[in-house]
A = this chain, B = another copy of it.
């Protein structure tokens, strides 16, 4: 097992708490839920993502000898506890929103039901996995919403926060509607279509730009994208047009599939390049734009009628630049059959084992969500579905392609005001059911009683 998927990818307190639970014989069933307290100001909805990796983690959870020896070396853990850890498996149930489901603040997106040692222990890595893909899918979908069908390609590897981030970001972006990634390992691991062009250094390593272009065509069969902004974009476009006509003469029309522009005034350069290409019979050569692009720039470029066929999106998407973390939490909602509630200022939680119901008008329009108790009768479609029972997935999760199509359909149903980029109060109504509220009051009253 890789160090990155070791069960030691956890917070130390998960282990000290587990030791306490064990010593106390606390083995009753706990229910924890993952939810986002508040949406970032720049998001009007979020997309649930990362469920497959979370389930993979739960199924594979086990401590190896090396890990137990390391824990032993800390002097914090009893031999009895380490013996228990050596046989720890996740034996619980998971309910979750399918990947690609839009959701809102205070809605549980994943619920774990398991003996408290297990349910508590998995918190850190489960959040780490679900938070990141949810973060990135929720950013990437904003590009998809404004791209008017142009191809979107993930260029994020170099500035992603590590290799797992790069690979999971490619997956989350594809789920949200991106078309391809440049990250080869993401293509291998998840079957995401790969796309790539060339770097400026490749051009610079040649004495002449036209040689660099021609050599690349010679060496790489199949459709090719040439990078044209290393020195002078318009001059390079004319070189491409000349090269394309030579290719046509050789009967290899279509070999030059696209040109990429990565700097400067992209709108003006794309217009100029389009004219140069069209005037020279290269109407089929596409234009790819890249260079610190985000959803606002994509929207602005298209609003200005920029002739563009594809966008390479890197840093802004892969780190979710304008909101690089979500206020996500994993909270105890029930233990030993009783609702539980945290009352810390600004961080109070809604207690009980819950479900989210999405309600629709007769015309199918989403009218609002209700967060209710799981056993409460409620109108609407329940969004949390059982995916894991007794520590095993109850059926195969949807393929990434199927989740991507599901996501597309879900996003198409979003109320139109939520599909705008603009900030503003998120107006989508999320109600807390009367029974959840009543349970919260009941628990507060009980705690007050204990305090005196």
A residues in contact (CB < 8 Å) with B: 2-6, 8-17, 19-24, 26, 30, 32, 67, 70-71, 74-76, 116, 120, 123-125, 127-129, 131-132, 135, 155, 157-169, 182-185, 187-189, 194-202, 204-205, 207-208, 215-216, 218-222, 229-232, 235, 262-265, 315, 319-321, 324-326, 328, 330-332, 335, 340-347, 447, 450-451
Which residues of the other chain, B, contact A197 by a CB distance below 8 angstroms?
13
Closest to A203 in B: B342
Cβ–Cβ contact B20 & A159, under 8 A: no
Question: Closest approach, in angstroms, between the C-beta of A252 and any C-beta of chain B?
Answer: 16
Which residues of the other chain, B, contact A159 by a CB distance below 8 angstroms?
127-128, 131, 325-326, 328
Known: A12-B184, A198-B13, A204-B342. A222 touches B162 (CB 8 A): no
Known: A194-B12, A215-B20. A207 touches B163 (CB 8 A): no
Which residues of the other chain, B, contact A22 by a CB distance below 8 angstroms?
219
Question: Closest approach, in angstroms, between the C-beta of A377 and any C-beta of chain B?
Answer: 27
A158 to B50, CA, bound (A): 14
Cβ–Cβ contact B160 & A220, under 8 A: no
Cβ–Cβ contact A219 & B184, under 8 A: no
Question: Closest approach, in angstroms, between the C-beta of A51 and any C-beta of chain B?
Answer: 16
Which residues of the other chain, B, contact A132 by a CB distance below 8 angstroms?
160-162
Contact of A11 among B5, B16, B183 (CB under 8 A): B183
Known: A188-B8, A321-B324, A342-B204. A19 touches B196 (CB 8 A): no
Cβ–Cβ contact A340 & B205, under 8 A: yes
Cβ–Cβ contact A202 & B17, under 8 A: yes
Cβ–Cβ contact A182 & B12, under 8 A: yes
Contact of A208 among B229, B328, B450 (CB under 8 A): B450
Cβ–Cβ contact A124 & B3, under 8 A: no
Cβ–Cβ contact A235 & B451, under 8 A: yes
A330 to B326, CA, bound (A): 30
A264 to B347, CA, bound (A): 9
Which residues of the other chain, B, contact A17 by a CB distance below 8 angstroms?
198-199, 202, 216
Contact of A200 among B71, B135, B344 (CB under 8 A): B344
A75 to B205, CA, bound (A): 26
A363 to B410, CA, bound (A): 66
Which residues of the other chain, B, contact A332 by a CB distance below 8 angstroms?
200-201, 204-205
Cβ–Cβ contact B194 & A163, under 8 A: no
